Structure 1
Amino acid sequence: MPSFTTLRFGELEYRAEDVVILPEGLVGMPQLRRWLLLDLGSDQAMKWMQSLDRGDFGFPVTQPYFFLDAYDFDLPSPAREKIGNTREDQIAVMIITTVHPGGAKVTGNMLAPLVIDTDTRKGLQLTLDGDFDLRQEINYFKFGLAVGGQSADNTAQEPAGEPAAESVGDRQDSAASAPAETVTV
C-alpha cells in the first residue's frame, strides 16, 4: 500500500484507488493534481483535501448545503467531459473552506467549487460566473447540527421541498456527503 508524508497528519497509507485526480490542478496551482479526501474522524461535516503532490498543502472542504440553501449552477459539457461524467448522481460538489484565526469565522469559496465524479475519481475546480461570494459565511446552525450527527432538514429554518441543486450533489444525503471514498486519519 502506498504511503505519503504530510505536514499535518504525518505518514498516511492509502490505496491507489482512493486518489482523486484534478487534471488541471487548482486555480493558481495547476501543478497540484493528485489528492486524497481525508475523513477527519467523527466530524462528517468537514473533510480535508490533502495534496499528494505537496505534503505541506491541504485544506478543509464541506458541502455547499452548509453555506446556502440553494446553490444551483450548470455544469458545462466541457467540464463533464474533463471528469469523464455522464451521470448527475455521480457528481459531488465540495466547497473549499477557510477557518479564520481562532475559529471565529468559517467561510467558503462559492465562486470556485470542487466538482468530483465519484465513479471516475476525476474532478476540477470550476470557476463560476454569477453572484456567488468568494467568502460566504457558513450557516452555523446547520453545520452545528451536522457535527452533532443531526440534520436541519426537519427544522423551521429549512425550506420545504428539495434543495435546488440536488442534481449537482447539494443534498446532505446525496453523493456530496461522501464525494469519494475517504481515508480516515
Structure 2
Amino acid sequence: MHISTLFFGELDVQESEVVTFTQGVPGFEGLTKFTLVQPEDSAPFSYIQSVQNGDLSFLVTDPFLFFKEYDIHLSDSLLEELKIETADDVIVWSVVTVNSDFTKFTLNLLAPIIWNVKSKMAKQVILHDSEYNVKHEIVLGEAAQVEG
C-alpha cells in the first residue's frame, strides 16, 4: 500500500510490515494499523507510523538502551491477546517526548508498547502498581555507550 506521511513523504508499505494494535493507541483508538519506520540517521530512535493517518507517528526507542534495569511483567491475558509464545517474539518500545528546543528527551516507561514481531500484533499497556512514570529523562550519550 502507498501512504502519504507528514514526516517521511510517500511510503510504500507491504502488508507484511503492518502491525495491528488490538485496541488502537490510547487517544487514537480508531487507528489500529501501524508500521515501523527506522531512518538510518535517527538511531537509536524509530517511528511508529499510522498507515491509516499519514499525519500520525510516534517517536519511539528501545527503553533497555537507556534503562538496563527496566523491568516489566506481561500478564497471561496480554500474552494470549498478542499471541506471544516466546520472549523472542517481543520488542518493547517506549514513546519518546522531546521538548521544543530539542534539548530534553524523556521516555514513557509507565506505558510501554508491546510489539509481537511474529503475530504482527501490538498494544500499549499501562503498568499498574509501578514505580515508573511517563517522563523519565534520558541523555543521548548513554545510548551510544550501550551500543558501542
Count how many residue pairs are aligned between Structure 1 and Structure 2.
147
Matched, 1:132 2:143: no
Distance in 2 (alpha carbons) for counterparts of 1:126 and 1:80: 12
Query: Is the 8 Å Cα contact of residues 4 and 11 (structure 1) preserved in structure 2?
Result: yes
Q: Distance in 2 between matches of 1:93 and 1:34?
A: 17
Contact 1:67/1:137 (<8 A) preserved: no
- State the SS of the aligned residue for 1:17: helix
Superposed, which structure 2 residues align to 1:57-96 within 5 Å?
57-96=56-95
Match of 2:11 in 1: 12
The one-letter amino acid paired with 1:44 is A
Tell me what 1:100 maps to. 99
How far apart are 1:67 and its partner, in Å?
Answer: 3.3
Structure with a larger share of its residues in strand: 2
Q: Which residue of 1 aligns with 2:45?
A: 46
Residue 56 of structure 1 pairs with residue 55 of structure 2:
yes
Give the drift of 1:143. 2.3
Counterpart amino acid of 1:4? I
Query: By how many angstroms is 1:8 displaced?
Result: 1.4
| Structure-2 change in CA distance of 1:66 and 1:139 (3 Å) | farther
**Distance of 1:42 and 1:101 partners within structure 2:** 20
The structural deviation recorded for 1:44 is 3.0
Deviation of 1:65 (Å): 1.8
Is the CA contact (8 Å cut-off) linking 1:109 and 1:135 kept in structure 2?
yes
Deviations 1:33-92 (A, max 9, x none): 100100112443110111112111111100112332211111001111111111112111
Counterpart in the other structure of 1:35: 34
Q: Which amino acid aligns with 2:136?
A: Q
Over 6 Å off, 4+ runs:
none
Q: Which amino acid aligns with 2:120?
A: R
The percent of aligned pairs where both chains have the same amino acid is 27
Structure scoring higher RCO (CA < 8 A, sep ≥ 6) equals 1
Partner of 1:141: 141
Gap regions ≥5 residues in structure 1: 152-185
- What TM-score results when the alignment is normalised by the length of structure 1? 0.75
RMSD: 1.4
Distance between the aligned counterparts of 1:136 and 1:62, measured in 2?
A: 13
- Residues 91-116 of structure 1: per-residue CA shift (max 9 Å, x gap): 11000111111211010110100001
Does residue 111 of structure 1 match 2:114? no
